[in-house]
A and B are shown apart, each in its own frame.
Chain A
Amino acid sequence: MNPPPLEILDLTVIYREKPVLWDVDLAIPEGRLCAIVGPNGAGKSTLIKAALGMVPKASGRVRFFGQPLELSRKRIAYVPQRTSVDWDFPTHVLDVVMMGLYGRLGWFRRPGREEREAAMEALRQVALSDLAHRQISELSGGQQQRVFLARALVQNADLYFMDEPFAGVDAVTEEAILRVLEGLKAQGKTVVVVHHDLQTVRDYFDHLTLLNVQVIASGPMETTFTPHNLERTYGKQPLLELEGWAKPEQAWNS
């Protein structure tokens, strides 16, 4: 059997004496759309960042396809929260997407026609080809998100991490992201998404990890998305009135 795309053992992250993640063990199965869900401050983004070496670990071991991070960088793409960069930077959409290919180019080599075409193709997949030469400061929030998505797609990775891609985006963008997720799944890629909307998580994903500093539960959506697990993750919130259980209009939405 192949080693899992992501395997985390005993991961602990401490920020000023306070554990943000505590003894996390997690294995993400191949070819699934996996959601990481939990309340604010549960360490969802930190989990991804620590796995990718962007946040120092107090302890823990992370393996990608059985390999350490350094040997698997080319197989991994990461879509950060779109607020993580300054969108007033003087460049255009296509250029940002091509940045995804810099890793493959290595030092010194400049992107050429091949890279430009790959970036255009990725922009088509997120329905942004019309805006290829648009200055990035002129983009809406949803368009920014799709640019980041295209930048990850162009990397042609096997494992994708996305940090809250659905946060505050318009319907067109939500639709585009869903299409991309389906496309990735059809190609057998693995996608790990930090998500915060319990309303949609069952429809969008097929694997669920419930996180609140510790891993509360992780497994296939059908068996993991249970009132009992959600209550253990969120505490006794009115979340148990989610659609299918009780009044949908009062559903808890972190």
Chain B
Amino acid sequence: MNPDLVILLTAVLVSTASALLGSFLVLRRMALVSDAISHAVLPGIVLAYWLSGGKATLPALLGAAGSGLLTVSLVEWLTRTGRVKNDAAIGIVFPALFSLGVLWVSLSFRNVHLDLDAVLYGEIAYAPFNTLELWGLSLPESWLVMGGLALLNLLFVLLFYKELKLSTFDPSLAAALGFSPGVLHYALMALVSLTTVGAFQSVGAILIVAFLIIPPATAYLLTHRLPALLSLAVGIGVFSSLLGYLLAVWMDASIAGMMATVAGGCFVLASLFSPTQGYLTTRLRRRQQRLEVTARLLVTHLAHHQTPVPEEEIREEFGWDARFLQQVKQKALREGWLEASEQGLTPSSKK
């Protein structure tokens, strides 16, 4: 099968599966938890390897889901004791579990090929080489794993859309109405763990966070509607994967690294140019508003004078520098509020 196609579709599936769940993580202010889970699943994978005696995918997924849930429970338990805050609890739990995994690998599996680099960084370029025979077809394993996970996540979000929305916005109302925010919460965490592990081989433990968090965080800057946010997040994730792959091939660079970089680029663009919340767009809008108000102020002031007022005098009275006065003057002239003559400025006679 065409290796480009295998890699591209794998990437599209990874970004779709991730963006769907990541949107809820971002809205629940749990973005950091995905980082924790992505590291803390290691002991679960090692345990699964130890029990099953091989690198089979299904035990690894189950082991990872288990340790993902363990991570979340430990973080919540530590937070509830009130001795540390939530961020510190995350910072305590995931290095503890991750180092447990690292130690276990280094002590028990010295002679086995359980490559830590592969876990941390992943390598999507190997996706075409892992194939499974199914229905007489030789299909890439990554398609089956990530396709299954993308479908599972999509079903989860579609079926429980209303419940997820409610328990994300107002967990106590969700509880009061008889929904179980706790069950949904752990289901979401289990899916995040599964998706993280499923994506390990493709993008690795560190970059999966980029796929989970950056596209939703970018979409959050661009829309105020949840359905739009979810679709935009998936769109941005898929776009980053496709463009990232093209750039990586062109520059002969790490594929997953380039995909995450493109996603980061999308975020930067959105944070600068988002119509509602972009840094540059808001600055521009504020500047326009300020100019307009100041121009009105100038015109009102001039209306009190019987004769045209020289610009020099205006600058002195308002304490403006020459450049700002010119900007205000131009604005007022454009709006037709002002007339300029040799003697100075007068309000427009039309108004």
**Which A residues are closer than 8 A to B by beta carbons?**
16, 52-54, 73, 76, 78, 80, 84-86, 89-92, 96, 99-100, 102-103, 105, 107-111, 135, 137, 151
Contact = CB atoms under 8 A, between A and B. Distances in A.
A254 to B, nearest CB: 25
12 contacts: A73-B178, A80-B173, A89-B168, A90-B27, A90-B223, A91-B169, A91-B225, A96-B169, A99-B173, A102-B162, A102-B163, A103-B179
B165 A91 contact: yes
Contacts of B163: 102, 107
A92 B229 CA distance: 13
A77 to B, nearest CB: 8
B220 A90 contact: yes
Contact of B177 (A91, A92, A102, A111): A102
Contacts of B29: 86
A80 B174 CA distance: 12
In this complex, the member of B82, B159, B166, B173 whose beta carbon has the largest number of chain A beta carbons within 10 angstroms is B173
B178 A90 contact: no
Contacts of A73: 176-178
Given A89-B27, A91-B225, A91-B226, A78 B173 contact: yes
Interface of B: 27, 29, 82, 159, 161-163, 165-166, 168-170, 172-179, 220, 223-226, 228-229
B82 A16 contact: yes
Contacts of B174: 102
Given A52-B176, A90-B223, A85 B169 contact: yes
B151 to A, nearest CB: 18
B282 to A, nearest CB: 14
Which are the 4 A-B pairs with shortest beta-carbon distances? A103-B177, A135-B224, A89-B169, A85-B170
A69 to B, nearest CB: 9
Interface of B is mostly: helix
Nearest to B228: A90
Contact of B179 (A76, A86, A107): A107
Contacts of B175: 53-54
Nearest to A110: B162
Contacts of A109: 162
In this complex, the member of A16, A53, A84, A90 whose beta carbon has the largest number of chain B beta carbons within 10 angstroms is A90
Contacts of A92: 224-225
Nearest to A106: B178
A80 B171 CA distance: 11
B176 A90 contact: no
Contacts of A137: 224
A168 B154 CA distance: 42
Nearest to B174: A102
A138 to B, nearest CB: 9
A108 B169 CA distance: 18
Contacts of B82: 16
B166 A102 contact: yes
A91 B170 CA distance: 12
Contact of A99 (B166, B178, B220): B166
Contacts of A89: 27, 168-169, 226
B176 A78 contact: yes
Given A52-B176, A80-B173, 13 more contacts: A54-B172, A73-B176, A84-B170, A86-B169, A90-B223, A90-B229, A91-B165, A91-B226, A99-B165, A99-B169, A102-B177, A103-B176, A108-B159
Nearest to A138: B224
Nearest to B23: A90
Contacts of A99: 165-166, 169-170, 173
B285 to A, nearest CB: 15
A54 B162 contact: no
Contact of B172 (A16, A80, A96, A103): A80
Nearest to A152: B173
A245 B174 CA distance: 45
A237 to B, nearest CB: 31
